[in-house]
Structure 1
Amino acid sequence: MTSSSALLPAAIQTHNHGTHQNDEATIFQGTVLTLADGKFSPVDAISIKGDTIISVGSLAEAQRAAGSNAPVRQLAKGQIIVPGFIDPHLHLLFTALVSHESIVNFSPSAVKTLADAHAVVEQAVEKRKPGEWIVGFGYDPSLVQNHPNLTLNITNAWAPENPVYIINQSGHVAGADGKLDGVLFEEAVSVFSPFIPKISPEEFIGLARTTLKSWAARGTTTVFDAGIGLTSGWSEIALIKAVLSDSLLPRLGGALAIQTAQPFASFLEVLAPPPWSVAAARVQAIKFWLDGSTQGFTAAVNEPYLDQPNNRGILNYESDEKLLGLLVPFLKAGWQLILHANGDRAIEQALRVLKIAFKDVPNRNRDIVHRLEHVTVVSREQLARAVELGLGVSHLIAHVRNWGAVFRDYVLGPQRGERIDPVRDDVELGVLYSFHSDSPISPVNPLQYVDTAAARLIDATGEVLGNTQTVSLEDAWRGVTINPAKQIGRGAEIGSLEVGKKADFVVLGKDPRLVRPGYLHKEVEVLETWVGGRKIYRADDVEVAFNTKN
């Protein structure tokens, strides 16, 4: 295979210059939860120099490593340091896009009834000329009273002179007005994508930076875009490079959407093998979508959806052979494979095909953790097979919090609904698991992921969804730190606070071990977020005390 940096898109470089770091050592004294070996493993101090941790342990050890003149940052009473949070699956530019003022908000916070949706459309009509498209995001029938779809008849009645295109909260189903019949599923959604408002590159870059900074305010130090190219194709590479020219942002890694990488034959012949460095980002994976959304009834499940005896969802690859033919060339070329699979029928296909692919490519890079994404409806036996194949599993854990009652009572029924995203099974079977937002599907808030995994509380009702799948706080904490670091291939750099790793950490206002599971996101404040020894976020009211006399 030919490999030459001269053949890469202009925004891609095969090296990373990085940013200037302060080479002065600094000591942080106070309780530090290191997550070394996946345990809280508290210590009394850490010291950093430049972008790297140089000591972890006692204050005396920190002073020996940092030098007698190193300033000591004394944490205030109650404050604590933890490893920076990692979200291994989200969509940066799509999140930025739907935050634009031209995109109408149909999210569950704004639309709880059909009347609410009608009011939102009426307001949008008032702001547009006849013939102008109304483009919205976030409508979710599963969370709207009586679960109505926005069909052609409804939107025509509400906006007779304006075509309407509304992307479902899941991103996998859309309502479209025009010459079609109404609701679109899976690949058909892309038919209307050209009607999404065009935003200037400068505005797009600004929205993306604002988005990343909002994630930093939640303690997020690394994010992984699981579908680069979905919004704007190859131009997203240049956009990402421009976004990251502001260095005070979280780290970014990513996967190219398979649609972006096709036609795959010429892609593999022309482009350098992974990982690529795009400014401060690292692109290393290819993302495949095997099915759709569980709450949208398009995830491929083995048993029919509740009260829908003929609906088992949509399997995007009808034959294993077609999927295998797409996967193997990327596997041979050293790409990480990331497979979107919500339902157990899609998961079964993923396990079958990956087993064959791994056998067909015995000399593959075995340090790469190939991943199953979302993994909502899954059996314990399937998880055990994922372990045998060395796969990572990442859960959209907000399914429990936001959609738990809906899955149980409307989508899946109690038996399957109670055990969606079964994290205790993960822990007991030795699965390398993590939690993610899939933003903009759910907000980036790692403390809330931890809460949900530990307590499994449903927001709408306060009920526990499947108490047999709750886990300890420590187990949940691994899902936003050391485990996703390994899944994105950066376990030697980030995910825990250990000597030689990057100084990515968060200062919290309260020790999470003292808070009842389920209430962390309400009681524990993110005070500061540090990436590579640089502070990228600080809450307004944080007081910092340094002692330079040792």
Structure 2
Amino acid sequence: MGQQSILRAASLITMNPAQPRAEALAMDMDSGAIVAVGSLAQCQAAALHAPVQDLGPGVLMPGFIQAHDHPVPAAVLCEQPAQWIAPFMGFPTWHDVEALFDQLRRRTPAGQPLLFNGLDRLLLSIPMPDRASLDRYFPDHPVLILDITGHAVYFNSRATGLFGWMHAVPPKDTPDARWTRRPDGTAGGVGFETQATMMTLGAFLPGVVQSPLLNLGAWYSTLARNGFTAAGDLGFVTKLRAPMEHLAALPDCPVRYALYQATYDDDAHASLDFGELSGMISRVGYKIWMDGSPSIGTAAISVPYLDSARARIADVPVGTVPGSSVLNYTPDEFLTLIGQFADKDVQIATHIDGDVGIEVVLDGYERALQRHGLSVTDHRWRVEHFATPSREQCVRAGALGISASMSPFQALYWGDLYDGVVFEPEYGARWQPYRDAYDGGVRPTFHNDGYLSPPLPWLNIQNAVTRRSASGTVHGPEQSLTLDEALQAHTINAAWQQKRDHEIGSIAVGKLADLALLNTDPYTVDPAQLQDTMQFEGTWLSGRRVDLGRFMQSVKAIAHRHDGALIRGAQPHQC
């Protein structure tokens, strides 16, 4: 054992039920492991002559874990020069968005591409943009707008030239890329699902983002400033390996990444061993997209969209029950796809929002686990978002050993609309049923889904405990969690979900000293005021305090070598 160090704080919230609170911890600085937790005297006895750093009134916790992220899209869409136009990012009305359009049209040279992220048709009460409407706003600039859901893109005529489409004719539809078309077969200006997003984004990046790697370093820094020391990348493709691996190798890298590779990646079956860097970056499993989003009518739900003025103007398919018609794969296709990747050491993670789709996914998981002899193993397969499960589906998922990563931002930003405006209250008020998931044994985690919402863990926790939407309205209070349970979702549950609970997620002897320093004790704060009160004052990775300034300097030194790979990584990967 090498050099040791002791951290003392007003309190340590360990997330370890065997020792919930402590005063100090001792660390081995060579391995980054915790060697003692308890009183200051106990830590000094375990680490003789170790220096003590007193953190004063601060409170230490294990570093938070972003269970489901998309770091590369977030880096290029949530950092300048891309424009993040979500209502909760300073654009609450369509008039605000139009004012930005006008400003950019006047100051941007003709022909220069413009990229926008986060258009929310439902909250803004606007029709679906298309090629014709965007041509009126931007006759001289290629324009691409990503829908807030991440499941649709909107573009103008000049953009089709960047895509390389002959006479503006889009490619054939696939399960992961569908296009609207005019009667003459040319593009209507809307694309749906993951491949459509990646193809269009890949075409725009070279002309918009000067240094994607610097943007990625900025995103890592954003996560760290919000208390995160680890995250899951739910959409990794092999072309991103070199830049992601080099970031992980930087001595000041602030975030560990567990990678879930997209099943449509050309090299999805290739070996992906990160060797000595496996503590910082590792492949955990594979990701499948099974349905879309409720906000654009592509979630596989069992109830009709209500016929409301708000829903009509946003082109939500009122009166329809999407059911299984919007699934990207039939049950048999889904089972076959799982079978191509299922293994005892591999997790399967599936994006699924609607209850009809959840039933199909649970059926497919159960059949696949049985077929591959994994039913009684510690597989921890995942469902992503899990927005509308019934209580029975939660119990079934728990019994199958399925874990859920849930999306508080859905209930927070759209809860007022889902409850009574878009769906009947009995269905919409339950959106993100935390209590049913927790009681069903799925060990829920929380996430912000990369570029869909800002990575604000205290806002996630606040919503889970209070069930208050952004307007302050309470929806489905019976689905609330305790503060203990909500904190677990961003710490030990998330570590468990990634099969890293032996390393991170709680403060315990033998685990890595991945820590977050809080300005005050969250248990002394009104749960409705957590976001306004709680602040992160620093993070530690393997016992070393993160220096984001030094990290960004090291990113700048290697950016020129990897920007091209990041751009190519956003190019399409045909099925």
TM more than 0.5? yes
Structure 1 residue aligned with 2:285: 285
Measure the CA separation in 2 of the matches of 1:71 and 1:112. 50
Change (3 A) 1:516 1:168: same
Question: Structure 1: which 5+ runs fail to align?
Answer: 1-20, 540-550
Change (3 A) 1:367 1:279: closer
Query: Could you tell me which amino acid in structure 1 is paired with residue 457 of structure 2?
Result: P
Structure 2 residue aligned with 1:176: 155
Measure the CA separation in 2 of the matches of 1:428 and 1:29. 33
Structure 2 residue aligned with 1:506: 516
Structure 2 residue aligned with 1:294: 294
> CA offset at residue 271 of structure 1?
2.5
Which aligned pairs between 1:196-235 and structure 2 lie closer than 5 A?
196-198=204-206, 203-229=211-237, 234-235=238-239
The reply to whether residue 312 of structure 1 matches residue 322 of structure 2 is: yes
Measure the CA separation in 1 of the matches of 2:199 and 2:218. 29
> CA offset at residue 242 of structure 1?
2.3
Which aligned pairs between 1:365-380 and structure 2 lie closer than 5 A?
366-380=377-391
Change (3 A) 1:483 1:149: same
Change (3 A) 1:42 1:191: closer
Q: Deviations over 1:348-378 (max 9, x none)?
A: 1110100000010115792331100001111
The reply to whether residue 94 of structure 1 matches residue 73 of structure 2 is: yes
**Which of the numbers 440, 444, 462 marks the counterpart of 1:451?**
462
**Which of the numbers 443, 450, 463 marks the counterpart of 1:432?**
443
> CA offset at residue 228 of structure 1?
0.9
Q: Deviations over 1:34-87 (max 9, x none)?
A: 1113x88112222111211111122222111111x222223323x211111011
Structure 2 residue aligned with 1:23: 3
> CA offset at residue 100 of structure 1?
4.7
Which aligned pairs between 1:287-366 and structure 2 lie closer than 5 A?
287-307=287-307, 308-312=318-322, 315-332=326-343, 334-363=345-374, 366=377
Structure 1 residue aligned with 2:393: 382
Contact 1:56 1:62 survives alignment (8 Å):
yes
Structure 2 residue aligned with 1:17: none
**Which of the numbers 49, 62, 72 marks the counterpart of 1:83?**
62
Aligned-residue sequence identity (percent) comes to 27
**Which of the numbers 257, 282, 300 marks the counterpart of 1:252?**
257
Contact 2:492 2:506 survives alignment (8 Å):
yes
**Relative to structure 2, which stretch is displaced further, 492-501 or 55-64?**
55-64
Q: Deviations over 1:439-474 (max 9, x none)?
A: 111111222221111112111x21112111111111
Contact 2:64 2:491 survives alignment (8 Å):
yes
Query: Could you tell me which amino acid in structure 2 is paired with residue 180 of structure 1?
Result: A
**Relative to structure 2, which stretch is displaced further, 156-165 or 300-309?**
156-165
Structure 1 residue aligned with 2:477: 467
Higher helix share: 2
The reply to whether residue 239 of structure 1 matches residue 243 of structure 2 is: yes
**Which of the numbers 38, 49, 59 marks the counterpart of 2:40?**
59
> CA offset at residue 175 of structure 1?
1.5
Q: Deviations over 1:397-450 (max 9, x none)?
A: 111111111222433231211111111112222221100110111111222221
Change (3 A) 1:29 1:128: closer
Q: CA RMSD in A?
A: 2.5
Which aligned pairs between 1:26-175 and structure 2 lie closer than 5 A?
26-37=6-17, 41-50=20-29, 51-67=32-48, 69-77=49-57, 79-108=58-87, 109-144=89-124, 146-175=125-154
Measure the CA separation in 1 of the matches of 2:285 and 2:271. 13
Task: Determine helix, strand or coil for the equivalent of 2:451.
Answer: coil
Measure the CA separation in 1 of the matches of 2:548 and 2:516. 10
Measure the CA separation in 1 of the matches of 2:62 and 2:78. 29
Structure 1 residue aligned with 2:314: none
Query: Could you tell me which amino acid in structure 2 is paired with residue 139 of structure 1?
Result: L
Query: Could you tell me which amino acid in structure 1 is paired with residue 41 of structure 2?
Result: A
Q: Deviations over 1:460-510 (max 9, x none)?
A: x21112111111111111111100000011010111101101101111111
Change (3 A) 1:182 1:27: closer
Query: Could you tell me which amino acid in structure 2 is paired with residue 156 of structure 1?
Result: D
Contact 1:434 1:480 survives alignment (8 Å):
yes
Task: Determine helix, strand or coil for the equivalent of 2:53.
Answer: strand
Structure 1 residue aligned with 2:569: none
Query: Could you tell me which amino acid in structure 1 is paired with residue 204 of structure 2?
Result: I
Measure the CA separation in 2 of the matches of 1:52 and 1:296. 46
Structure 1 residue aligned with 2:497: 487
Measure the CA separation in 2 of the matches of 1:443 and 1:388. 33
Measure the CA separation in 2 of the matches of 1:538 and 1:165. 32
**Relative to structure 2, which stretch is displaced further, 156-165 or 181-190?**
181-190
Q: Deviations over 1:125-148 (max 9, x none)?
A: 22444444432111110111x333
Change (3 A) 1:385 1:273: farther
Contact 2:82 2:208 survives alignment (8 Å):
no
Contact 1:33 1:40 survives alignment (8 Å):
no
Contact 1:217 1:537 survives alignment (8 Å):
no
Contact 1:301 1:343 survives alignment (8 Å):
yes
Question: Structure 2: which 5+ runs fail to align?
Answer: 158-185, 308-317, 550-575
**Which of the numbers 509, 513, 529 marks the counterpart of 2:539?**
529
Aligned residues: 505
Q: Deviations over 1:151-192 (max 9, x none)?
A: 333212222333432111111012122242233322544553
Task: Determine helix, strand or coil for the equivalent of 1:221.
Answer: strand
For normalisation by structure 2, the TM-score amounts to: 0.82
**Relative to structure 2, which stretch is displaced further, 211-220 or 112-121?**
112-121
> CA offset at residue 203 of structure 1?
1.6
Measure the CA separation in 2 of the matches of 1:72 and 1:59. 9
